[in-house]
Amino acid sequence: MEIYKHLAVKDPDDLIFGHSPRPLTLPNGLVIGGGLVYPELNFTLPPMSISAETMPEIREQYRQIIESACARAVDLYVPGLVVEFELLPEMTRTPEWGAEITAILRDCLDRFAQRDGLKSALRVTPNDIREFERPPRMRSGGLWDDMIRSFELCAQAGADLLSIESTGGKEIHDDAILYADLPTVAYALGVLGARDMTFLWDMIVRVGLKNGAIPAGDTACGFANTAMVLAEIRHIPRVWAALIRVMSVARSLVAFERGAVGPGKDCAYEGPYIKAITGYPIAMEGAEAAVAHSSPIGNIAKATADLWSNESVQNVRLLGGAAPTVSLEQLAYAARLMNTATEAGPHTALMLRNLFVASDTTYDPQAYVLRPDVVIDLSREIIAEETAYGRVRRAALATAQCLRKAHHDGLCPLSPQEVNWLDRLSKQADTLPEAEEALIEQMKDQIDPEKIRQDQYGLT
C-alpha cells in the first residue's frame, strides 16, 4: 500500500494535458499520459428496457455503435482510442449480459486494430449495485457476489481497464448535500467512503491481477457530481459543490493507495488532484460531455486531461450519423488540437492550457478549484494529513479559505447568497473535530439504522 506524502507534480506548469509522471503502457503499446491525449468514448442505449427478450436487440445496438465509432476514428486518424463500456444495472445483476457486450466490443476493437492499425483500450465499468438493497450490505450477499462476478466475467471477456463508480457512504450523503450538512458529508466521504473503498478496491485489484486487466480508478460521481448537478439547477450553492469536490479527493485517492494505476475515471472531476498527488494519468470530461449533462467546467477540464471523454451519449440518430459516432468526432478534434499544441512545443501547449483555464475560472467556484495552481496548493494541504478523514477535514478548511480569498481578490466573484453560504459552511468546517474517533462518536446518535448499516464499514 502506498500512502502519498509528496506531490508527484509540484510545479503548476507541469500539470498539463497529455503528460503524467507515471504514464500507463498497455500490452499493445498504447501509452496513456505519455504525451498524447486520446478520446475516450462512452455510449448508452436509447430508451428501451433490458431483459432476456430484448438482449438480441441490445447486442445489435452495441455492435452498431462500436463498428461505426471505430470507422470514424480511423477516418479521423486518431492516434489511439479508449472506449468505455459502462454497464447498465441490469447487466451487472446478470453478469453474463455485461460480459457478452464486453466480448462484442473487444472483438470489434481487435478487428480494427488488425485491419487498420487502430490502437485502442477497452475500459469496462460494472455498476455498484449494492445499493439495490436498502440499507445496503457492502461486503457480502447476492448483490455483492453478482458485482464481483461481473468484474471477473468482463475482465475475462476482454476488458483492459476496470473501473467503478462506487457508492459507499452515499446512503447518508445525498441528504447531507441537500441539507448542507458538512459534518455528515465529511463523515460519509472520509470515514465511510474511505473504509468502503479500501475493501472494494482490494477486491478489484485482485480480480484485475488474476484476469489480466488493469485496475484503473474510481470517481466521486455519486457524491460530488450529484452536488454539481444540484448546483447547476440552482438547488444548492455552487460553493457547497466546490467544497464537496475537493473534500472528495481523499476518498477517490484510496483506490490508488490500494493499487489502482489509472487512467482515472472521466466523471471524476477531482482527477487533477489525483494526477498531482499520484502522478497517474486521468480521464476528464467537459464541453463535449454536454451530450450527457451540463457543467460549469467545460474548458478547464481539458487543461489536465490525458483522456478526453463525453461521459455518455444515447445511441440515437442525428443528421451527422449515430450520436456516439458524432460524439467521437467532437472528442477527436478536441484531442487533436491539444496534441497539435504539444507538438508545437511546451510553450504553445502551456498557452493552450492557460486559455482553457482562464476561460472558465471566474464564472464558478467549481471551476476555480480546478485551476492548476489551486490544485497543487490544495493537494499539498490534503496530503499533509495521513488519514482519509484528516484529509477531508483539511480539504474543507483550506478550500473555504481559498474561495474566500479568490472572491476577495476578484478572481472568482461570488453572489451575496453564495458568500453567505460560504460563511455558513466554513463555520461548520471549523467545528469538525480533529480526531476521527470524535466524529464517529458524534455521528452515533444521528445515524438512521434504516438507512445505513455501520457494521458494513467495520464500525460498531
Residue 168 Cβ, how far from ligand B12 at the closest point, in Å? 12
Of 227 and 268, which has the nearer Cβ to another protein?
227
Q: Which of 179, 343, 344, 386 lies at the binding interface for another protein (CB under 8 A)?
A: 179
The site that binds ligand B12 (CB under 6 A) totals a number of residues, namely 19
Residue 294 Cβ, how far from ligand B12 at the closest point, in Å? 8
Contact 325, 70 (CB under 8 A): no
- CA–CA separation, 281 and 309 (whole Å): 14
Q: How many Cβ atoms sit within 10 Å of the Cβ of residue 457? A: 20
Torsion angle of the four alpha carbons 413, 418, 420, 424, in this order, in degrees rounded to the nearest 10: -120
Residue 218 Cβ, how far from another protein at the closest point, in Å? 18
Residue 89 interacts with ligand B12 (CB under 6 A)?
Answer: yes
Of 170 and 275, which has the nearer Cβ to another protein?
170
Residue 371 Cβ, how far from ligand B12 at the closest point, in Å? 24
Of 38 and 85, which has the nearer Cβ to ligand B12?
85
Residue 80 interacts with another protein (CB under 8 A)?
Answer: no
The DSSP output letter for 436 is H
Residue 314 DSSP SS3: strand
Residue type, 330: Q
Q: Which residue has the cell 494541504?
A: 381
Residue 44 interacts with another protein (CB under 8 A)?
Answer: yes
- CA–CA separation, 167 and 187 (whole Å): 14
Residue type, 25: T
- CA–CA separation, 270 and 248 (whole Å): 7
- CA–CA separation, 203 and 292 (whole Å): 30
Using CB under 6 A, which residues numbered 235 to 254 contact ligand B12? 235
Residue 237 interacts with another protein (CB under 8 A)?
Answer: yes
Using CB under 8 A, which residues numbered 104 to 143 contact another protein? 131-132, 134
- CA–CA separation, 30 and 28 (whole Å): 6
Beta-sheet strands, E only, within 221-375: 283-285, 307-309, 317-318, 321-322
Residue 429 Cβ, how far from another protein at the closest point, in Å? 16
Residue 44 Cβ, how far from another protein at the closest point, in Å? 7
Q: What does 49 interact with, of another protein, ligand B12, none (CB < 5 to 8 A by kind)?
A: another protein
Of 34 and 89, which has the nearer Cβ to ligand B12?
89
Residue 265 DSSP SS3: coil
Contact 194, 218 (CB under 8 A): no
Give the binding site for another protein (CB under 8 A): 44-50, 88-90, 131-132, 134, 174, 178-180, 226, 230, 234-237, 314, 417, 421
Residues of this chain that bind ligand B12 (CB under 6 A): 44, 86, 88-89, 127, 165, 167, 174, 221-222, 225-226, 229-230, 235, 292-293, 311-312
